[in-house]
Structure 1
Amino acid sequence: MSELSALIVGCGDVGGRLALQLLTSGWHVSGLRRSIDQLPEGVQPVAADLTDAQIPAAWPERAPDYLVYCVAASQHDEAGYKAAYVDGLRNVLSWLQARGQQPRRLLFVSSSSVFAQQDGQWVDETAPTEPTGYSGKIMLDAERLAHDSGIPASVVRLTGIYGPGREWLLSQVRQGYRVAQQPPLYGNRIHAEDAASLLAYLLDADARGITLEDCYIGVDDDPAPLADVVAWLREYLGVTEWSDEQRVRRTGSKRCSNARARALGWAPVYPSYKEGYAAILRGSAKP
């Protein structure tokens, strides 16, 4: 078999989209997750629980050319994050070692939660990472594990992923979501399809012999104040009522840059929240 192969650990929303993009390009793709019945057609299933140190019975005999670690914590607390991102990655690395398999590169999907900037400043891959919350701290631990794995590794820090099925903000806006305009609370977003396309682009670039950096930020072209996003969605949806209370689910304010990924040649299909949310709403519109 001459085509390239990838093992996607955590083949869920973003991982599944990545799998489909790779399959279209002629790759052989294995997908590891608990519920393999939800894998895209054409993906070789690997049923596994990342918290179980025993090597999965369905572990691929064929050594993957590339490993993509793209999991989502099922338990949103410190223990859950450590189990998903640190312990799970450690188990996968031990399974590879047990089978004598050495991928060309590991892509570890991380998060912009490693950045703690709060004053609306621009952030790139060289910015200080001094997280105060457990999620960012555990992500940094997992990133270090990836870089110390003995496999050439690149970390991809994705920002707020949205897309079909990830519509919390739309739901809130329909309910009259009210946020302060000043000071501006900058947020960062990337459509799930663009998140997958960035991962696919990095894999293809490495396969073509292009030297990858050790870190990339996955974000669209337009970090925007949350109040601006809400105002645009209200107008698009025709919402006229306001909630009685001002509600903001998160803190922090920064503007993440995708300049490094763009310099490599990648570009998002949905360059801002406007194109991305419009596509979601068109897709959900009833005929």
Structure 2
Amino acid sequence: MSRKVMIVGCGDVGSRLGRQLVAGGWEVHGLRRNTSALPAGILPVPGDLGASACPPAWPQGELDYVVFSAAASQHDEAGYRATYIEGLRHCLGWLEQRGQRPKRLLFVSSSGVYAQKDGEWVDEDSPAEAESYSGRVIREAEQVALASGIPASVVRLTGIYGPGREYLLRQVREGYRVAVEPPLYANRIHAEDAAGLLACLLRADADGKVLDNCYLGVDDAPAPLAEVVDYLRGLMGVEHWAAEQSVRRAGSKRCSNARARALGWIPRYPSYREGYAAILAGRDD
């Protein structure tokens, strides 16, 4: 039976999700300001999360699922609140205006809600007590989703990379240095796998499986950043180092994907090695 899903904030990950669902026979609607960038097969819904009035092109009738995957365009606390809290509240208001109650809401969150920084293993039950404004606001938005009256799951994605998300590759080409000791653990997920996890959750719910209220989206291999940099230097043939001293970024934790894997999700790119090799080979799958 065909399912109808509304992807609110249909950017890179949302568009990848939409393509996967369309291929499976789902009816997919995608909301964004500029809908000309949506892939074929996703029904366009021009709209602005800053508006309280429901977008005119919002789908009519029954709506099975909503995925809220917006990204803040203004990177300060006010911008985060406008997108993740007020934008989500507006979205919930649009559902109420149309008399729709989806079977489930997926709220795309971030592992930035965690404050752990000493290489600890983190899962969905670990304390989420971020000190940064971004982590605090997203944590507050999670609570709005979970208290919405609609069955909801938050999906905390780790560092998303993929075609068009190549900041680390550019850094390595420039001779990026990173401290080796103590190890700075980083967590990643390829954009296609992030979309695949969201699709897995939607299909599982549609099949009657019981979902948890939180999932971590991360590949199988959190790794020290120095290890990743060494691998990429070898892959790209970079031999020089930048003149600056070694860089150590704040934060270090290892996120577990055991809960998502227990549901049946299998990442296409189990580690940074397969993912970055695909990018450098020019593959976008």
Provide TM-score, normalisation by structure 2. Answer: 0.98
Tell me what 1:196 maps to: 195
- Deviation sequence 1:12-32 (CA, Å, 0-9, x none): 100000000000000000000
Tell me what 1:116 maps to: 115
Is 1:271 matched with 2:267?
no
Q: What residue identity is the alignment partner of 2:9?
A: G
Tell me what 2:242 maps to: 243
Residue 58 of structure 1: how far off its partner (Å): 1.1
- Deviation sequence 1:116-167 (CA, Å, 0-9, x none): 0000010000000111000110011100000010000000000000000000
Q: What residue identity is the alignment partner of 2:230?
A: A
Is 1:50 matched with 2:61?
no
How far apart are the structure 1 equivalents of 2:189 and 2:162?
Answer: 9
SS of equivalent residue, structure 2 residue 83:
helix
Tell me what 1:148 maps to: 147
SS of equivalent residue, structure 1 residue 41:
coil
SS of equivalent residue, structure 2 residue 2:
coil
Is 1:282 matched with 2:281?
yes
SS of equivalent residue, structure 2 residue 176:
coil
Tell me what 1:6 maps to: 5
Tell me what 2:223 maps to: 224
Residue 250 of structure 1: how far off its partner (Å): 3.5
For 1:31-110, list aligned pairs within 5 A: 31-110=30-109
Q: What residue identity is the alignment partner of 2:34?
A: S
How far apart are the structure 1 equivalents of 2:268 and 2:247?
Answer: 28
> Is the 2:67–2:106 contact (alpha carbons within 8 Å) kept by the matching residues of 1?
yes
Q: Which runs of 4+ in 1 moved over 2 A?
A: 246-250
**Total equivalences in the alignment:** 283
Residue 247 of structure 1: how far off its partner (Å): 5.3
Gaps of 5+ in 1: none
- Deviation sequence 1:47-80 (CA, Å, 0-9, x none): 0010111211111113320000001111111111
Tell me what 1:27 maps to: 26
Identity within the alignment, %: 65
Tell me what 2:256 maps to: 257
Tell me what 2:134 maps to: 135
- Deviation sequence 1:238-276 (CA, Å, 0-9, x none): 000000113547410000000000011111000000000
> Is the 1:177–1:246 contact (alpha carbons within 8 Å) kept by the matching residues of 2?
no
How far apart are the structure 1 equivalents of 2:161 and 2:214?
Answer: 21
Residue 43 of structure 1: how far off its partner (Å): 1.1
CA RMSD of aligned residues (A): 1.0
SS of equivalent residue, structure 1 residue 283:
coil
> Is the 1:219–1:258 contact (alpha carbons within 8 Å) kept by the matching residues of 2?
yes
Q: What residue identity is the alignment partner of 1:204?
A: R
SS of equivalent residue, structure 1 residue 190:
strand
SS of equivalent residue, structure 1 residue 30:
strand
> Is the 1:180–1:246 contact (alpha carbons within 8 Å) kept by the matching residues of 2?
no
How far apart are the structure 2 equivalents of 1:260 and 1:133?
Answer: 26
- Deviation sequence 1:199-223 (CA, Å, 0-9, x none): 0000000000000000000000000
Q: What residue identity is the alignment partner of 2:282?
A: G
Q: What residue identity is the alignment partner of 2:212?
A: E
Gaps of 5+ in 2: none
How far apart are the structure 2 equivalents of 1:200 and 1:104?
Answer: 15
> Is the 2:184–2:248 contact (alpha carbons within 8 Å) kept by the matching residues of 1?
no
Provide TM-score, normalisation by structure 1. Answer: 0.97
How far apart are the structure 1 equivalents of 2:246 and 2:3?
Answer: 47
